[in-house]
Amino acid sequence: MRIAFLVHEFPTLSETFIINQAVGLIKRGHQVDIYAEKQGDIDHLQPLVKQYNLLERTYYLLTMPENLFERGLKGINLLRKYLTLDRKKSFKSLDVWRYGLEALSFRLIYMLVPQCEQPYDIIHCQFGTQGYRGIWFRKINSPQANLITTFRGQDISKYVEEKGTHVYDKLFKEGNYFLTNCDFFKQRIIALGCDPNLISVLRSGLNYQQFIFKPRFLEKNQKICIATTGRLVEKKGIEYSIRAVAKQAEITPNLKYNIIGDGELRPHLEQLIKTLKMQNIIQLVGWKNEQEIKEILDNSHIFIAPSVTAKDGNQDAPINVLKEAMAMGLPVISTYHGGIPELVEDGVSGYLVPERDVDALADKLNLLIQHPEQWKDMGKAGRDYVEKHYDLDKLNDNLVDIYQQVLNSNQTLFNLNLNSVTLSS
C-alpha cells in the first residue's frame, strides 16, 4: 500500500506514536510518505527517524494564511511556481465549477504536491485537526485514496471547545474511516456525530521489549526516588505532584523527585519549588533523550503522572510515559482523567486520584511509601497490562488490517455502484 501521513509538525519528540506507526508500516513492506506543515526539532532526532530515513520521506507543505487576501496573493505566486511543475494539477486546483469555495479560496493550491505522481491508497490524518487538510489534499493529489483520521486528545477536547461541536461535520461526511486512541475519545467522537460503524479504537502501542522490567524494592537507608516525565504544560498537572511531594517530605524527608521534561511552565514550577523550599528534594532535570529517561526510571521506585483537564479543555489519552513506567515495573499514581483509567487499574497497577487533588496525591504517595511490599506486585501487574493491551507489533498489524478492510469495503461499494450503473443503463 502507498500511505500518506498528514501531521502538523515533524519530527516531534512527544509524538513517538507517529514514528512507531510509520516504521511499523515500512517494516511490513508498505510505502509511507509524511506531509507536515512545519519542520520540528532535527537536532534531537529519535533513533528510528535516522534508522529508517524518515526525513527523506517527509515533505513540508506551505502554511496557508488565515486571511483570505493574504492567502490569495501568496497563492498566485504559488500558482506561478506550480504551473511549471504540474500544469494540469495547477489548473485543476482553481476549478470553481468542480470544487466551489475550496478552489475559490485558494485552499487546494496550498495542498498541491507536484512530486505526488502515483496515487495513494490511504491518506491518514494523524490528528482530527488535520482532517480538513486531508480532504483538500485528497481532492487535488489523490482523489481515489481512502481518508482515515485519528483523534488523539487536543483535537477532541481543546479544539472542539474552541471551534464548536459541529467542527467535524464535513469530515464525518467525507472521511472513509476514523480511529481514536482510547474508548473515552471514541464516545466523544460518536457524540459529535460520527457514524459508530465507521470508528474503531486503535491504541498507541509501545515496544515494551525495549523497556526492561525490574521489580522494585527499597534497600536500607536508600532514598525513595520518584519520577515524572512530561512537557511542563498545564494539562500535565505537575504543579500538583510538586505540592504533594512537598507535603510528603514533611513526613518522609529521604525523598528525591526528578521531573523530566521542559516547557512553558518551567519558570513557574522553579519558583514554586523555591517557595516550598524543596530545591534539595525536587529537581527539574530538563529534556532527556530516551536512554537517559530509561536510566532515571530504572533508578526510581514510584512514578507519578498527575494529568488534569486544562482550562482550555485540553485532555490526555492514556499517555505513553505511563506505559513506559509500567513496562519497567514502576508502581504508578495518576488521575481520573481522559483515557488514563483505561490504562491504570486503581489498586492493582497503581492508584488513581481526582484531578488537582494534592491531598489525595499525597495520601496515595504516603500509602506506597509505607507499604513498599506492594511495589513488586503492582509493577508486575502494570507490565502485564502493557504487554497485553499495548503491544506495538500487534497494534501495527491491526492498523494494516484496518487499512485493508477500508480498501476492500470501498472497492466493494465501488463495484456495487458500477454494477448498478450498468444494470440501469
Cell of 267: 519558570
Q: Please, which pLDDT band fits residue 422 given cuts at 50, 70 and 90?
A: very low
Cell of 162: 474552541
Kindly report whether the peptide bond that precedes residue 11 is cis, defined as omega within 30 degrees of 0.
yes
Cell of 48: 528510528
What is the residue-averaged pLDDT of the chain? 91
**The pLDDT of residue 413:** 46
Q: Domain 209-388 maps to which CATH number in 3.40.50.2000, 3.20.20.140, 3.40.50.620, 3.30.70.141?
A: 3.40.50.2000
pTM exceeds 0.85: yes
Task: Compare 87 and 340 and report the one with higher pLDDT.
Answer: 340
Tell me, what amino acid is at 365? L
One-character DSSP codes across 128-187: GGGHHHHHHHHHHH-TTSEEEEEE-SGGGTHHHHHH-TTTTHHHHHH-SEEEESSHHHHH
Cell of 416: 456495487
Tell me, what amino acid is at 289? N
pLDDT in tens, 100-151: 888 888 888 888 887 677 789 999 999 999 999 999 999 989 999 999 999 9
The full set of domain ranges for the chain reads 2-61+113-205+392-424, 209-388
226, 300 contact by CB (below 8 A): yes
Cell of 232: 511542563
**The pLDDT of residue 349:** 97
35, 113 contact by CB (below 8 A): yes
Same fold yes or no, 2-61+113-205+392-424 and 209-388: yes
106: left (phi over 0), alpha (psi -120 to 50) or beta: left
pLDDT in tens, 15-69: 889 999 999 999 999 999 999 999 988 887 888 999 999 999 999 988 888 888 8
pLDDT at 239 over 80: yes
pLDDT at 207 over 50: yes
Lowest mean pLDDT among 101-115, 156-170, 279-293, 316-330: 101-115
286, β-bridge pairs: 260
Least Cα distance to 384 among 208, 201, 203 occurs for 208
Lowest mean pLDDT among 15-29, 86-100, 226-240, 291-305: 86-100
Give the Cα separation of 122 and 145 in Å (integer).
5
Average pLDDT of the residues in 346-364:
97
Average pLDDT of the residues in 92-105:
86
- As to burial, measured by CB atoms within 10 angstroms (0-12 exposed, 13-18 middle, 19+ buried), residue 420 is exposed
Lowest mean pLDDT among 73-77, 238-242, 323-327, 336-340: 73-77
Give φ, ψ of 73 to 5 degrees.
-60, -45
Give the Cα separation of 408 and 292 in Å (integer).
44
**The pLDDT of residue 418:** 36
**The pLDDT of residue 92:** 86
Q: Please, which pLDDT band fits residue 309 given cuts at 50, 70 and 90?
A: very high
Q: Please, which pLDDT band fits residue 348 given cuts at 50, 70 and 90?
A: very high
Task: Compare 111 and 420 and report the one with higher pLDDT.
Answer: 111
Q: Please, which pLDDT band fits residue 14 given cuts at 50, 70 and 90?
A: confident
**The pLDDT of residue 110:** 87
pLDDT at 416 over 60: no
Lowest mean pLDDT among 76-85, 178-187, 305-314: 76-85
pLDDT at 260 over 70: yes
Please give the C-alpha separations between residue 144 and each of 26, 133, 210, in angstroms, as whole numbers: 22, 16, 39
Give the Cα separation of 285 and 182 in Å (integer).
30
Between CA 55 and CA 182, with CA 324 as vertex, the angle to 5 degrees is: 80
Which DSSP state fits 223? P
Which DSSP state fits 286? E
Average pLDDT of the residues in 202-207:
94
182, 201 contact by CB (below 8 A): yes
**The pLDDT of residue 411:** 61
**The pLDDT of residue 107:** 87
Q: Which CATH architecture has domain 2-61+113-205+392-424?
A: 3-Layer(aba) Sandwich (3.40)
- As to burial, measured by CB atoms within 10 angstroms (0-12 exposed, 13-18 middle, 19+ buried), residue 189 is buried
Give the Cα separation of 354 and 323 in Å (integer).
20
Task: Compare 235 and 415 and report the one with higher pLDDT.
Answer: 235
pLDDT at 412 over 60: no
